[in-house]
Structure 1
Amino acid sequence: MTRIHLPGILAMATIVVASNILVQFLFGQWLTWGAFTYPIAFLVTDVMNRVYGEGPARKVVLIGFVVGVICSLIGTQIMGEFGPLVTLRIAIGSGLAFLTAQMLDISIFSALRKGAWWRAPLASTLVGSLVDTALFFTIAFSAALVWIEPANDVSWAGEMLPLLGFGPMAPLWVSLACADWAVKLSLALIALVPFRIIVRKLSPGTT
């Protein structure tokens, strides 16, 4: 890790901190503002991977993970209306989802590196974000994992409602997860534009 990697490190740290703050504020019925900032982490990881390689990308992810753990520890000490802002289940889900999804993103990107320029960032982000969403919401809110933190009442997340307000009946947390992944899917497509621009700027010889 050298000085040239510092922008990537700062970008990842900023995204993680911002997302941990913005997740406290609702956007509509199914989302929080953090849903719009967190997916940018995949863009940072993919740019680092394309320009500097798999090793530096993994180090930036690890730094982001550490920053996320610190944010979670701070959150557990801040009391909100219904208890700590960050519960044990949310902390575990957030950390495990971030680390697993980002490392998977790097592996998929590296495997597709020699293909068309858009294939690696798009495929890696789509798969990584799906895993991220599934892991986080399942660990944080599924009734099947209540044993992780028995004292934490997440029964509200299991309320049966029409999926996203109009689909078949499903637990509330499933609707939250679907809305979250829909945003990640949309941003994965949009992020191809800045990915192309940034990579060209940092690697003038790249086609």
Structure 2
Amino acid sequence: MTRKLWPGILAMAAIVVASNILVQFLFGQWLTWGAFTYPLAFLVTDLTNRIYGASQARKVVLAGFAVGVACSFIGTQITGEFGPLVTLRVAIASGLAFLTAQLLDVAVFSALRGRAWWQAPLVSTLLGATLDTALFFTIAFSAAFTFIDPANDVSWANEALPLLGTGPIAPLWMSLAVADWGVKLALALLALIPFRLILRRWTAKGAIA
């Protein structure tokens, strides 16, 4: 792995580690602090893709996946008030969602890289973030996937409540998913600012792939 990728790898690792820690702390009723750090992984992936190309971006993604697996393993060994900090279902959901969503991001970005500068990062992040949210919350908390880890009680996540406190009746995990998705979409728009600024710097260096 070339030295040029180390900034992206370190940034991705920092985001994954921070998100795994911050997800333990609530922000309001529907979110955790990790919801605000994790979407930055898409910014790292997109910048790597734009500057160095898709194959290099996949390497950064795989490095982030490896760090995530390590974090999940450590979390399974730490017991909190309600059991392990990371259950088998959450570990599987987290890893599968991250890897699938990030690779989709790389593919979509590559397909749109010849268009206006903002289209590739925005569309790829929106699609990747949507897939990430759907996979993670469904696998981790839906009653349909209880077979993955029958000993893990997720009845709390399937309690029927108004969606986000005001909408139609739905399992609690759907409110958590919608809130998380909304944050990802907002940050996808905000991330265009640092993406553009960093892209200008690298364009001036003539280092764009």
**TM-score class normalised by the smaller sequence:** over 0.9
Cα deviation for residue 118 of structure 1 reads 0.3
Following the alignment from structure 1 to structure 2, what is the Cα–Cα distance between the partners of residues 91 and 201? Answer: 37
Cα deviation for residue 202 of structure 1 reads 2.0
Q: In structure 2, list runs of 5 or more residues that go unmatched.
A: none
Q: Which residue of 2 aligns with 1:137?
A: 137
Q: Which residue of 2 aligns with 1:178?
A: 178
Q: TM-score, normalised by structure 2?
A: 0.97
Residue 150 (1) aligns with residue 119 (2): no
1:109-153 per-position Cα deviation (integer Å, ceiling 9, x unaligned): 000010000000000000000000000000000000100000000
Secondary structure of 1:203's counterpart equals: helix
> What is the 5 A alignment of 1:20-99?
20-99=20-99
Following the alignment from structure 1 to structure 2, what is the Cα–Cα distance between the partners of residues 88 and 44? Answer: 27
Following the alignment from structure 1 to structure 2, what is the Cα–Cα distance between the partners of residues 4 and 203? Answer: 16
1:138-184 per-position Cα deviation (integer Å, ceiling 9, x unaligned): 00000001000000000000000000000000000000000000000
Secondary structure of 1:161's counterpart equals: strand
Calculate the aligned-residue CA RMSD, in Å: 0.8
Cα deviation for residue 203 of structure 1 reads 2.5
Amino acid at match of 1:135: L
Which 4+ residue blocks in structure 1 deviate beyond 2 angstroms? none
Secondary structure of 1:170's counterpart equals: strand
Following the alignment from structure 2 to structure 1, what is the Cα–Cα distance between the partners of residues 35 and 201? Answer: 27
Which segment drifts farther, 45-54 or 2-11? Answer: 2-11
Q: Which residue of 1 aligns with 2:101?
A: 101
Q: In structure 1, list runs of 5 or more residues that go unmatched.
A: none
Following the alignment from structure 1 to structure 2, what is the Cα–Cα distance between the partners of residues 5 and 83? Answer: 37
The alignment of Structure 1 onto Structure 2 pairs a total of residues equal to 206
Cα deviation for residue 38 of structure 1 reads 0.1
Amino acid at match of 1:117: W
Q: Which residue of 2 aligns with 1:2?
A: 2
Q: In percent, how many aligned pairs have the same letter?
A: 75
Residue 188 (1) aligns with residue 181 (2): no
Q: Which residue of 2 aligns with 1:19?
A: 19
Amino acid at match of 1:9: I
